[in-house]
Structure 1
Amino acid sequence: MDINDLRRARKAAADKMQSSADAISALEAVAGGPDADDLAAAEAAFAEAQQEFAAADAKVKRAETVEAAQAASAVSETDTPPVQPQAQAMPARAKEPGQEGVELGFMVHALANAKGDRDRAVARLEADGHSAISASLSGASEAARGVTVPRALASGIIDLLKPRVLVRASGARVHDMPAGELRNARVASGPTASYAAENAAMEDSEPTFDKVDEKFKKLTCLVPVGNSLLRHSSIGVAQVVRDLMLDAMALKEDIAFLRYDGSANDPKGLLHWCLAANWQDAVGNSAAVVEAALRKVVSDVEDANVGMISPGWGMRASTKNFLASLRDPTGAYMFPSILQSGTLLGYPVRTTSQIPNNLGAGSDETEVYFADFAEIMIGESQQIVVGSSTEAAFVNQAGDTVSAYQSDLTLMRAIAEHDLAPAHDEAIAGLNGIGWSL
């Protein structure tokens, strides 16, 4: 079991304690007093759940201590050169811009060459002079799905996803979700205030509360790479491996966080979290109609008393270019700030190719999103599981089954877990525009 499995077991024990405590409270509330045998059974169940929680909590704390020690030892080997370095060890040097997260590329590269054998991969990294990476890999846990990348390296890859994924880049708040699920409380309606005469009774008002649940959704990434490339060991190959995985994960996250409906195993994106009243359908493309629709989108969010801490737009690049080229009746540009500062109505614009432009009855509609992204929460496991195979087969994007062995390929697989939810649905608005793409 990895650390997240242990945390889930601890949470299950805590839930069992709560159920047992509720049962005891219900018995004690019975008129005339509880039945002695029932009360004794309920108290015994609570004591058993308490023992399970204590045991699970001890295992989690022990695993966290080991994980922290492994991360610390990897960092110390990077920062402090060994007293007697091996002849093949690389000299210490500052990481260059563009090489962030390349450790994962080296790790996956070594695992692929070792056919998934962690010990052989560690030896390969050590022989190539990557002692800090081999130290991290040697402390990584193995499971049926592959090798769990240590959190220190996985967090670097997650950080690299930020500029590549529209929702992350726009300021969505990322938080750890170690137990696999998280319940976030929110205020559904606040209290009210009123004026009253002197000595008059004050009117009461009670706020109402709601909850937003997040549960892990598994994102998988399968990348075939030619074995001829993997036989070479260099920083360039490690960067290629890293970028292949990042690109595949980023593209899928983009469309999921924006448009997926939350069914089956998918996260629920902004489109389906958005309130019906905040979404405009089939908006025309004349200058006056476009301006009115965009201003309504912003007003829908602002009028809901949203904090507007990290507001921004999300759209296709062709939609941004359409808006930048739009002119009023006098011939002046309607939104010159798009080209001047990358903003629309004062808020930053970010683009992604994952928003389609062939929607609607005429196959000519696209979507435009606006949100205060500080209200958007992304729960992360903060871990990535990687594995490789030279014998497996896969179905390519054309629908054909390809044998990795026959094609001299290695399949590299990465698994990440996360979910998305808004703190308040009112922070999201948007529209479908007809002909809003150049």
Structure 2
Amino acid sequence: MRITALRASLAAEVGSMEAILDAASNDNNRDLTAEEQTAFDKHKAEAERLQAAVGREETTLALKASAAKPIHVGGAGAGGGTVPAAVKEKLEPGVMVGRIALSLAATGGNDQRAMANHAQTVFGDETGQIVANMEQSTNTKGGYLVDTDYSRDFIGLLRPRVVIRNLGARSVPMPDGNLTMRKKTAGTQAGYVGERVPAPTTDMQVGNLNMTAKKLMALVPITNQLIRRASYGVDQMVRDDLLDSAAVKEDQQFLRGAGSAVAPTGVRNLVAAGNILAMTGNPNLVTVSSDLGRMTLAVKNANVPMISCGWVMSPRVREFLASLRDGNGNIVYPSIEANGTLKGYKIAETTSVPDNLGAGGNESELYFGDWSQFLIGDTYQVALAASDTAAYDDGGVIRAAFSNDETVIRLIEEHDTQLRYDRAAAVLTGVTWAP
């Protein structure tokens, strides 16, 4: 609901104000700098605006509650068409997104009443109620916003499919599309002192970390024949198609994305320059072991928490390491096949790490990090739209949905990425390891 997002945004603004005051307080209770005062005033003004908006929403909700009427989503007739109170159906995570997408596709996505009727007829009263109460999307130029709870379910399903999410990246709420917080720029300082001796500065050196929602759009064509026969099972297939499209792009962008005003920055371009290491030439047991040790030490020496550490590599590099043998023919890293770890840390393999880099087109990259320091700012708001006249890119070929008797479902989710500490990960470049 809007009021939930407004309250979350208000809390974020107040948190930013407190962070500015804390920084000054921890620095011998000094006054705010001119820059800090400007930022504080900006957050204060936004907080006051949001507070007023929350008040308006609370008033509106109270009035709506006193004049509430049941929503009719069925056909005409005495006693028919009203969504009754019922026990909430137990659904698999993300399935509601598939159901809503099918209801949009089946009715063209322009008449909410028709969409709700279809949802009720095919999937039951609960889905009909949800579709009937959906809000239209404004910031994504059309479509409908999926309820936050179901959007969270859907985004949660991306975790096992996106390697950095799966390795422990932190997902933080960004309901209004913006988030400012503190990030670590240097290690913590501490020391022992005698009686009545001023305490040393113990806070870590910090800077500002800003995230602004970037729009990820996925297009999934579905045959109209399948839509006409939509039933239980088809909704799960549509959900999975939408998930696959979003996950592939997230995986690529979170790892190697260059970053721009419209796309998030990947860890490859967020890591400190000193933590980007070059592979030692002539790969053999000694140089490979050395390179792996250099990577883990680069992170450990930065004094990061080491909470959710792991490796990200291409399938080719994983196969090389799994088959590496010593002079006696023994497997050097048996844990790779035994439990999917390397040097005690979890391995995630993905084709989103390419093997065709470098001048010779035969180089790859290897990543190691404490992925709890990688932040994904999620708006937790999925928007869906459908069209049977849209065109889409199919591997470089532009296809028309109308000509193919298809409907294209468009999914939009918004997020951004940051590293809380740019030395929390290390990248090995120029990797030519191959089995």
Q: How far is 1:279 from its partner?
A: 1.4
Q: Give the corresponding residue for 1:114.
A: 107
Q: 1:248 to 1:437 in 2, by over 3 A?
A: farther
Aligned with 2:219: secondary structure?
Answer: strand
Q: Give the corresponding residue for 1:135.
A: 129
Unaligned segments of structure 2, at least 5 residues:
18-30, 32-43, 65-69, 72-78
Q: Give the corresponding residue for 2:339.
A: 341
Residue 381 of structure 1 is aligned with which of 379, 382, 387?
Answer: 379
Q: In the TM superposition, what whole-angstrom CA distance separates every residue of 1:17-60 from its partner, at most 9, and x where no partner exists?
A: 9xxxxxxxxxxx9xxxxxxxxxxxxxxxxx99897554323245
Distance in 2, matches of 1:50 and 1:327, equals 61
Q: Give the corresponding residue for 1:33.
A: none
Q: In the TM superposition, what whole-angstrom CA distance separates every residue of 1:119-157 from its partner, at most 9, and x where no partner exists?
A: 111101212242111111111101342010111111111
Q: How far is 1:260 from its partner?
A: 0.3
- Tell me, yes or no, if structure 1 residue 236 matches structure 2 residue 233: yes
- Tell me, yes or no, if structure 1 residue 247 matches structure 2 residue 251: no
The question of whether the paired residues in 2 share the 8 Å contact of 1:3 and 1:64 is answered with no
Aligned with 2:251: secondary structure?
Answer: helix
Q: Give the corresponding residue for 2:34.
A: none
Q: Give the corresponding residue for 2:297.
A: 299
Aligned pair count?
Answer: 390
- Tell me, yes or no, if structure 1 residue 102 matches structure 2 residue 95: yes
The question of whether the paired residues in 2 share the 8 Å contact of 1:283 and 1:432 is answered with no
Alignment of 1:237-386 (within 5 A): 237-284=234-281, 285-386=283-384
- TM-score, normalised by the number of residues in structure 1: 0.79
The question of whether the paired residues in 1 share the 8 Å contact of 2:173 and 2:378 is answered with yes
Distance in 2, matches of 1:6 and 1:205, equals 37
- Percent identity between matched residues is 33
Q: How far is 1:221 from its partner?
A: 0.3
Distance in 1, matches of 2:423 and 2:229, equals 52
Q: 1:220 to 1:175 in 2, by over 3 A?
A: same
Q: 1:374 to 1:393 in 2, by over 3 A?
A: same
Q: How far is 1:247 from its partner?
A: 0.2
Residue 151 of structure 1 is aligned with which of 148, 153, 175?
Answer: 148
RMSD value, Cα: 3.7
The question of whether the paired residues in 2 share the 8 Å contact of 1:190 and 1:206 is answered with no
The question of whether the paired residues in 2 share the 8 Å contact of 1:358 and 1:365 is answered with yes
Distance in 2, matches of 1:7 and 1:94, equals 28
The question of whether the paired residues in 2 share the 8 Å contact of 1:13 and 1:53 is answered with no
- Tell me, yes or no, if structure 1 residue 408 matches structure 2 residue 405: yes
Q: 1:10 to 1:61 in 2, by over 3 A?
A: farther
Q: Give the corresponding residue for 1:125.
A: 119
Distance in 2, matches of 1:63 and 1:327, equals 70
The question of whether the paired residues in 2 share the 8 Å contact of 1:11 and 1:179 is answered with no
Aligned with 2:357: secondary structure?
Answer: coil
Distance in 2, matches of 1:124 and 1:203, equals 68
Q: How far is 1:437 from its partner?
A: 3.7
Q: In the TM superposition, what whole-angstrom CA distance separates every residue of 1:320-353 from its partner, at most 9, and x where no partner exists?
A: 1111001112211111110111100000001111
Distance in 2, matches of 1:306 and 1:281, equals 22
Aligned with 1:415: secondary structure?
Answer: strand
